[in-house]
Chains A and B, each alone.
Chain A
Amino acid sequence: MRRNECIAMLLAGGEGRRLGVLTKDLAKPAVHFGGKYRIIDFTLSNCVNSGIETVGVLTQYQPLVLNQYLGIGSPWGLDRREGGMHVLPPYVRQKGGVWYKGTANAIYQNIGFIERYDPEYVLIISGDHIYKMDYDMLLSAHKSNRADATIAVIPVPWAEASRFGVMSVDEEGRIVEFAEKPKQPTSNLASMGVYMFSWPVLREALIQDEADSQSANDFGKNVIPKLLREGARLYSYRFEGYWKDVGTIDSLWEANMDLLEDEASLNLNDRERRIYSVSPNRPAQYVAPGASVRSSLINEGCVVEGNVNRSVLFYGVKVGKGSLVEDSVLMPGAVVGKDARVIRAIVGEGAVVGDGCQVGAFDSEEIAVVGSGDTVPDARPLLEAKPI
């Protein structure tokens, strides 16, 4: 990819309200995932691994942790003399400034930023999704179709299709119909929230969208349907591979559990396309005598003295003697005391599960959650421990 032929705009202002106590001081893209990463690491690494070296990151909600995490982009190799990563919060202009009203408005407000790089194509992505994708292949498809916009799509189960923007396409992949979160979906091809635009088309569409006072200024609800109505060349790009929106506690837990499959469909060990992240600088993990660890992902700085099965442990987690951690996700610095049980649970950053306590249960439908920094202090009666 030639320099600045294509730049990426990464929407990272998501609130992640449905993640509850896990996002109380955190924007959704900064939520921890996979034992080591934050969600935004995947899209940033995708950019770098696809040769896109200019990335604007649009932040809004709870930006402090995210800003500190992103820094000047060094962990992703995006601290560049030309281009690189830029954090773009809403800013005040002479006539006052406004909060980003919607995804399209966020890009509209940064037309000036994009024009500094004079790109031919602009990639719009979101920092809320877990997937590994080569955007260069998306760009190639976009060019060979001579498309105005290309939307990456993935088939989803029909039952879930109404949660997404879904589209019907013809045999050449051209989009003939698009519906945002339809009650009666006519297709199960869901938009991944990954859009490749030819910049002049996008620029014009954004200006028109902004002029429309009825618009919610959203790509899925307004910009894409309008382009389609006007007969623009909109194409789909079918993505094969793992993709997950981790917007809820259940989906965050599931996505972590997906990594524990012996042949996980999201390959974190592929050295050609690494996922980069900020290193916490911790020593190698220590598994004590008498401990047992199976079917799990464990990061640096952990100390395991108890039993861990089918779980994901982030850096600096401690699991005390006699404890059982199963089907759970333990966020950075979480501490599980002695003889405790953590089952089907997410334990937030720095949270403490005291000696003899129990969180979650094998027969529970719901995933138990301990909020970041919270303490589960008292020894509740233990359920019968399942042999592991």
Chain B
Amino acid sequence: MKLPMMGVINLIHETEQMGTLTAGRCLATVPFGGRYRLIDFVLSSMVNSGIAKVAVFAHTKFRSLMDHLGSGGNWDLHRKQSGLFVLPPAMEDMTEFGKGDLYQFYRHRDYFVRSPLEYVVIARSHMVCNLDFARVLAEHRDRNLDVTVVCKSWPLARTGLARKVKTDADGRIVEMQDHFGRLASDVVSMEMYLLRKELLIDLVETTLAQGKDHFVRDAIMSRLGELNVGACMHDGFLGVVNTIPAFYRHNMELLDPDVWNELFFRPGPIYTKVKDEPPTRYRSGSAVVNSLVANGCEIEGTVEGSILFRGVKVRKGAAVRGSIVMQNGVIGENGALENCILDKEVEIRPQQQLRGTADVPYLAVKRNVI
């Protein structure tokens, strides 16, 4: 079913502390879950909800983003009508680069104005979840809200950085603070804001005219008194993946079959770029337990409590425990990894041993030979 809503995945100034994982790529294309990039989750959710027009507001280091998204065909967004729009910054000169996201919203306003769709949902790339925006829109209409913010009750010790939200008895948001604020609340914002297109354009123009250029802080948080901003609670899995400990922890959570069954299938499947790798080959010496393994791997050694991305090779006698090995990683004979994150195409020499801890995993940079 088609929704009267367009999507925006806003990559401008995403809050992150991902170290070298974002050295050569934007947060949206950090690999996750064996064969995905972070952006796949929100993008697939949008498509499965019936959103047929999605813009990705790219900002920095977007080569990997363009490569990953292509024409949008893998998400069924390669269409004659609507489809995927990847919009890099539109600037007069480089000095505008530091301006807030509202400025880019304004520069890209034709994307909004040209469409007859009534609603817009603005999201970030790093909220790993599988959700139905049709339900959010229905709640938005039923409750007659100006802005609906998708939120999650999240009393867990947080490893990711998320805004905190305080609601009143009716679910109206009365207070919202950036992640470093002291607000005592178990509810976090999933950084998904649903509103009418007309209101968005009004907020963009008015706020910019007032000399402010930050969408959430200046257009939403500072107007909680005048606008009816409500929280729509998400009950399913959430991973806020914008720090290294959060990246490690939320990947490991996928080893829980309940999470695997929910996040990748319900309410809809998660799509990603197709790689045409053959099935994974387990050789005679392989001993794999409690692990997530993507296609194209060749395993001759031991793998426990780990996540192997596509095309990883674990040679004879090697042992991989509590680790995340990204695409095309090679663990040489009798090598050993414990609590490590290997970025793409890292090669671990034979006999080499590397060890981190679950709280501070060892992180190897892309294409390193260790």
Contact = CB atoms under 8 A, between A and B. Distances in A.
B283 A262 contact: yes
Given A274-B276, A298-B282, A288 B34 contact: no
Residues of A in contact with B, size category: 35 or more
A303 interface: yes
B281 interface: yes
Interface in B15-34: 33-34
Interface stretch (A10-18, A121-129, A144-152, A278-286): A278-286
A290 B257 CA distance: 14
B257 A286 contact: yes
Contacts of A275: 276, 278
A294 to B, nearest CB: 6
B361 to A, nearest CB: 19
Nearest to A290: B289
Interface string B311-325: 000000000000000
Contacts of A281: 269-272, 274
A277 B274 CA distance: 10
A269 B279 contact: no
B269 to A, nearest CB: 5
Contacts of A74: 73
Nearest to A45: B276
Contacts of B287: 292
A268 B272 CA distance: 22
B274 A279 contact: yes
B298 A298 contact: no
B294 A300 contact: yes
B295 interface: yes
B269 A289 contact: no
Interface of B, secondary structure class, is: loop
A292 B255 CA distance: 16
Contacts of A312: 279
Most buried by A among B73, B290, B309: B290
Contacts of B307: 284
A194 interface: no
Contacts of B309: 284
A257 B285 CA distance: 17
A291 interface: yes
B289 A291 contact: yes
A293 interface: yes
Interface string A289-325: 1111111111110010000100011000000000000
A185 interface: no
A38 to B, nearest CB: 14
A287 interface: yes
B264 A283 contact: yes
A283 B283 contact: no
A11 to B, nearest CB: 24
A165 interface: no
Contacts of A303: 257, 260
B278 A34 contact: yes
A337 to B, nearest CB: 16
A379 B260 CA distance: 30
B45 interface: no
A143 B366 CA distance: 47
A96 B257 CA distance: 57
Contacts of A56: none
A285 B292 contact: yes
B280 interface: yes
Nearest to A37: B278
A369 to B, nearest CB: 21
A276 B274 CA distance: 10
A293 B288 contact: yes
Nearest to B294: A284
Contacts of A34: 278-279
A262 B278 contact: no
A295 B284 contact: yes
B242 interface: no
B293 interface: yes
Given A274-B276, A295-B282, A295-B284, A287 B34 contact: no
A275 B279 CA distance: 11
A344 interface: no
Interface string B259-275: 01000110001111010
A386 B89 CA distance: 64
B84 to A, nearest CB: 16
Contacts of B284: 262, 294-295
A298 B278 contact: no
Contacts of A294: 282-286
Contacts of B265: 283
A269 B286 contact: no
B291 A287 contact: yes
A300 B264 CA distance: 12
A295 B283 contact: yes
B296 A283 contact: no
B160 to A, nearest CB: 21
Contacts of B124: none
B172 interface: no
B344 interface: no
B289 A288 contact: yes
Interface of B: 33-35, 73, 255, 257, 260, 264-265, 269-272, 274, 276, 278-296, 298, 307-309
* A-B interface, 9 closest residue pairs, ranked by CB to CB distance from nearest: A284-B34, A35-B279, A268-B278, A283-B264, A299-B279, A284-B294, A279-B274, A289-B290, A297-B279
13 contacts: A36-B278, A268-B279, A283-B34, A283-B35, A284-B292, A284-B294, A284-B295, A286-B293, A287-B291, A288-B290, A296-B281, A296-B282, A297-B280
